Amino acid sequence: MQDQNILSRIQQIDGLETLQLQDAVVKLAELATAEARAHTTPQEQRLFLQRWYGNDPGYFWLTFSKVRSKAPRESVWSKFGLLQMLKGPANEYIQWGMLSQEPKEGFDLLREYFDTLVTNATDEHRYLLVRFLWESRNEGIKSTISENWLKKASPDIKRVLGQNFNEFSRHAEHLLKVWKAQVETSSEKSALAHEHVDLSLPGVQRRIGSHHLIRQVLQEIEDIFFSIGFSVVEGPEIETPYYNFEALNIPEFHPVRDDMDTFYLDLPKGAPTPLLLRTHTSPMQIRTMEKQKPPVRVIVPGKVYRRDNPDATHSFIFHQVEGLAVDSDITFCDFTGTIEYFVKQFFGPGVKTRFRPSYFPFTEPSVEFDVSCIFCGGSGSAASGGTCSKCKGAGWIELFGAGMVDPAVYGFVNYDAKKVSGFAFGMGVDRLAMLKYQIDDIQVFFQNDVRFLPQFP
């Protein structure tokens, strides 16, 4: 009941919520004084002290914590009226004691008040405030008593008053001393508990990233070709039309350029040559042969760009691995053997392969290379019945283009077409990855979605 009374009286303070903190604290201080005055029997006073300064609900310390969090420096305490609020009852008791014929009663009350304050000053800041309340030269209880009580007391009670005061002082000093030691050890303890390192805790785990699936597949492809004597070269993603087209036997108005409708760079007027994002890795065939005499055995992994509209199987950026082998006596058998070896290493020995005639301006003959459908095992029908959706019932999946290097290409790199022969291939890495890892949307490779990436650690 008492709690509720205090609480409801606090709530009755006009505009407590909207007041500035400082004003609110002053209002509370006034209330604290009034409350102290209103409680006349020692029992009531004790109860009031417990409720106002005790831990539960401890209005004063609650307010103190709020003020401190807003104004952490000690010097602002008194300014903000906290000291007034703390001192309110003390003032009452001191005055009451003065009027009393029995000073001991006044000191007993004061003692209870002070003990309640000290025992609830559970941290160093609270402790310092209580200490300040006790010994502050202008505002402290000590000086108030001696100024207002002792000095003004009539000679007949001065001696008793002095004795009582000395006793109280000793008690207060002792209490503060003992309490200080306790507060210090407990805050030290709590600091230690804070800093205690529990070695059994799992620690902060930072997830280690992994290579992107495309990077992993490129590595697989590179490893397979490494093992049969190919080396890796890389080339520029910005190319000249000469390397991207002309030197690959694709003259300006050749219809295959339509498929490679491309990204040209905006260049200043008078630039020596137009530039474009390469549409395939094949230009590196030319750059490699320009630099190197046969034998040549290279693969070229890299990004390529086309003006494709994005859908589940198209992206304006994707990856290729180009291959080129040129020597004095390379035959079509070397070509098919190499490609089949690669595919069986990559997809597993069970896959069947086939070559279909095709056309590329830089290979002659040209082929399209297929594997038996990885999803239906080449049967053309889905496990659940009906036709396989991946190969559309054909039992075969188109993998990539390849062929024997067209002799016309050798003309661009000063190779003697009568003395050398070779083969080339160009595979879409994204497509190979999709087939091998059963991914049905090429876009996931470029979206960097963390729901996708960690599936391939």
CB 64 within 8 A of CB 5: no
C-alpha torsion angle, residues 170, 171, 176, 179 (rounded to 10)? 140
Classify each residue of 244-279 as buried b or exposed e, where b means 16 or more C-beta atoms within 10 Å of its C-beta.
bbebbbbeeeeeebeebebeeeeeeeeeeeebbbbb
Q: Smallest distance from the beta carbon of 416 to ligand DAH, in angstroms?
A: 20
CB 291 within 8 A of CB 324: no
The one-letter code for the residue type at 332 is F
Stretch that binds ligand DAH, among 56-64, 127-135, 310-318, 418-426 (CB under 6 A): 418-426
Interface with ligand DAH includes 424 (CB under 6 A)? yes
Q: Which of residues 66-85 bind ligand DAH (CB under 6 A)?
A: none
Instruction: For residue 142, give the nearest of 118, 170, 175, 103 by alpha carbon.
Output: 170
Beta bridge partners of 358: 366
Interface with ligand DAH includes 363 (CB under 6 A)? yes
Q: Which residues contact 81 (CB under 8 A, 6 or more apart)?
A: 22, 25, 26, 28, 29
Instruction: For residue 113, give the nearest of 94, 132, 129 by alpha carbon.
Output: 94
- CB closer to ligand DAH, 257 vs 352: 257
Which one among 221, 402, 413, 433 touches ligand DAH, defined by CB under 6 A?
402
Which one among 235, 361, 378, 403 touches ligand DAH, defined by CB under 6 A?
403
For ligand DAH, the nearest residue by Cβ is 426
What phi and psi values does residue 444 have, to the nearest 5 degrees?
Answer: -60, -20
What residue has token string 């003020």?
67
Query: What are the angstrom distances between the C-alpha of 19 and each of 14, 15, 57, 80, 422?
Result: 9, 6, 22, 13, 89
Which one among 360, 369, 415, 445 touches ligand DAH, defined by CB under 6 A?
360
Q: Smallest distance from the beta carbon of 383 to ligand DAH, in angstroms?
A: 32
Stretch that binds ligand DAH, among 73-81, 172-180, 385-393, 395-403 (CB under 6 A): 395-403
CB 327 within 8 A of CB 423: no
- CB closer to ligand DAH, 229 vs 348: 229
- CB closer to ligand DAH, 302 vs 401: 401
Q: Smallest distance from the beta carbon of 242 to ligand DAH, in angstroms?
A: 16
Contact mark string toward ligand DAH, 276..315, x via CB under 6 A: ----x-x---------------------------------
- CB closer to ligand DAH, 68 vs 280: 280
CB 321 within 8 A of CB 430: no
Interface with ligand DAH includes 412 (CB under 6 A)? no
CB 275 within 8 A of CB 239: yes
Size of the site for ligand DAH (CB under 6 A): 11
Q: Which residues contact 294 (CB under 8 A, 6 or more apart)?
A: 326, 327, 328, 415, 420, 422
Stretch that binds ligand DAH, among 64-72, 149-157, 339-347, 400-408 (CB under 6 A): 400-408
Stretch that binds ligand DAH, among 100-108, 122-130, 132-140, 422-430 (CB under 6 A): 422-430
Q: Smallest distance from the beta carbon of 226 to ligand DAH, in angstroms?
A: 19
- CB closer to ligand DAH, 58 vs 365: 365
Helices 42-53 & 2-12 angle (0-180, nearest 10): 60
Stretch that binds ligand DAH, among 111-119, 143-151, 182-190, 399-407 (CB under 6 A): 399-407
Stretch that binds ligand DAH, among 72-80, 201-209, 391-399, 424-432 (CB under 6 A): 424-432
Residues that bind ligand DAH (CB under 6 A): 280, 282, 322, 360, 363, 401-403, 424-426
